[in-house]
Amino acid sequence: MLMLAGIVVVHITTIILLLVATIDNAWWVTNTVSTDLWGRWELTNSVWHYTNLKNYPEEYLQTVQATSVLACVFTILALFVFVAQLFTLPKGQRFTFTGILQLLACLCIMIAASIYTAELQTMKEGGYGHCYVLAWISFVLTFILAITYLVLRKKSE
C-alpha cells in the first residue's frame, strides 16, 4: 500500500512539473527576454511586454507545442487509468496500459525538449530557464514511472 501511495505521489508530481514546464514562460531567459513555447516576454522601460514568437520555424514550434501538450494529456490520462485499473484489474495482472501511456508521454517530452534544443534555440546570449530543466526532469520521472507500471503486478491482499 505504501508503494502505491509513493507511485501516485510521484505521478502527481510529474503532472505538476509537466504543466509548469508547458505553461510557464522560462524556456530561454536573458536579463531582458524570457521565452516560452507560446510567446516571448521582453523587458522595455521596466515593463514586461508580451510578443509573438518571431523568427522561429513554424513547423518545429508547432511540433514542440503539440508534443508538450500531448505529454501532459498522456500523463494525466495514465493516472486515471492507473486508479481505474486498481479496482478493475484481476489479481496478478500488470498495469500494461498505464505503462504504455507513460511511455508515450515520455516520448513526447523527449521530442519536445530535443527539438527545442536542436532547432528553436538559436540565441547566443542567455541560458535555459527552469521550464526547460523541468521538462527534462519530467522526462526522467515519466520513464521511471513507465518502467514501474510495466513491471508492477496487482498483488492479492
Number of other residues whose CB lies within 10 A of the CB of residue 140: 12
The pLDDT of residue 65 is 93
C-alpha cell at 141: 520521472
C-alpha cell at 66: 503539440
In the chain, what percentage of residues exceed pLDDT 70?
97
The Cα–Cα gap between 74 and 100 comes to 9
Average per-residue pLDDT for the chain = 90
Average pLDDT value for residue range 72-96: 91
Average pLDDT value for residue range 88-113: 92
The pLDDT of residue 120 is 74
Average pLDDT value for residue range 16-41: 90
Residue 94: strand pairing partners = 153
Which CATH code is given to the segment(s) 2-26+57-151?
1.20.140.150
Residue pair 103/149 in contact (Cβ under 8 Å)? The answer is no
The pLDDT of residue 156 is 53
Residue pair 108/131 in contact (Cβ under 8 Å)? The answer is no
User: Is-above-0.75 flag for pTM?
Assistant: yes
Q: Which residues contact 8 (CB under 8 A, 6 or more apart)?
A: 79, 82
Cα angle, residue 11 at apex, residues 1 and 66 outer, rounded to 5°: 155
Q: Is the pLDDT of residue 79 over 90?
A: yes
